[in-house]
Amino acid sequence: MSEDKDTTLTHSQLIKYIRKIEIKTSQIVNNYFSGNYHSAFKGRGVEFDEVKAYVAGDDTRSMDWKVTARYRSPFIKKFKEERELNVMLILDFSASNNFGSAKIKKNLIIELAAVFAFSAIKNNDKVGMIIFTDKPEVFIAPKKGRNHILKIIHEIIKYKPENKGTNIKSALDYLNKLIKRRSIVFLITDFCSDIPVKEINISRKRHDLITCFVHDKLEYNLPDINATIVLKDLEHDETTFINTNDKSILNAFSKEQEKYKNDKLKLIKKHSIKHIIFDTDKDYIPNIIKFFKSHN
């Protein structure tokens, strides 16, 4: 089965596709992301581990003066990182993500979710998930382990959304209502919806929020094929016909879409929203590595 076709899978196809996603994303995590993820996302703090005898070069700020006085020999406290983290995947399954030229946006969202999930369990973190359209539709509570990750991947591959629209605000409100513990949140959506700055600011005060935007080149530049192209708004079932023989129409479309994209990027920059941008026709690995390193 091609990963770039949005078709209904049989049970055997579903199992094969899940296995394919697991193998591919696990290899990517092991080869590229394991150390970067751990460095980028620290634990909640440190906890006491043990007391050990002081040796030259140890940090004197960690000196345990009570033990030192008792044994009349210098001892220091050792601490270890309290590593366990919560990771939440907030996935946009609105109808606009059923579009793609090189790869359907929804399939890229699935793969990115798997990469972040396997990165998390590699570091023994818990992973949970919310699927949303114009309302939250699926919630899986954070847990550890490979079987739990496979359950999440199974759900996101087979799930058929009830609605077509997009409402990021409702998804973030739902997240903040359910998840009280500070978490790493990967919000994976596209550029086709409004960015609710107020809700993003509320969420990032409570969580470490990273917004991942996926988009496709055909959303900004129509092919020059001297024909009439039918454009359909998948979320509102509205259809537009564009005659590509008229170059002025092509240019106007490209300028309008580019302005739309740039306005979104200016808004993101203005409010310092942590983000990663992914193109359906490009390798996503360099973008994630770059973000992990800058986040660290």
Q: Is the dihedral of CA 212, 275, 216, 116 positive or negative?
A: negative
Output the pLDDT for position 148. 96
Residues 6+ away with beta carbon under 8 Å from 181: 86
* pLDDT tens digits, one per residue of 104-116: 999 999 999 999 9
Output the pLDDT for position 44. 54
Output the pLDDT for position 8. 61
How far lies 91's CA from each of 34, 204, 268, in Å? 22, 17, 19
Entry pTM: 0.80
Which two structure tokens, joined as six digits, stand for 91? Answer: 């996935």
d(CA 63, CA 52): 10
Output the pLDDT for position 167. 95
Residues 6+ away with beta carbon under 8 Å from 221: 254, 257
Output the pLDDT for position 43. 60
Output the pLDDT for position 81. 55
Output the pLDDT for position 236. 78
Output the pLDDT for position 231. 78
d(CA 60, CA 74): 10
Closest CA to 121 of 94, 99, 106, 142: 142
Q: Do residues 41 and 85 make contact, with C-beta atoms less than 8 angstroms apart?
A: yes
Domains along the chain with CATH numbers: 11-41+85-295 (3.40.50.410), 46-82 (no CATH)
Residue segments in the chain with a per-residue pLDDT below the cut of 70: 1-9, 42-49, 79-83, 296
Break the chain down into helix, strand, coil percent, rounded to 5.
Answer: 45, 25, 30
Output the pLDDT for position 290. 92
Residues 6+ away with beta carbon under 8 Å from 47: 79, 80, 82
Output the pLDDT for position 196. 94
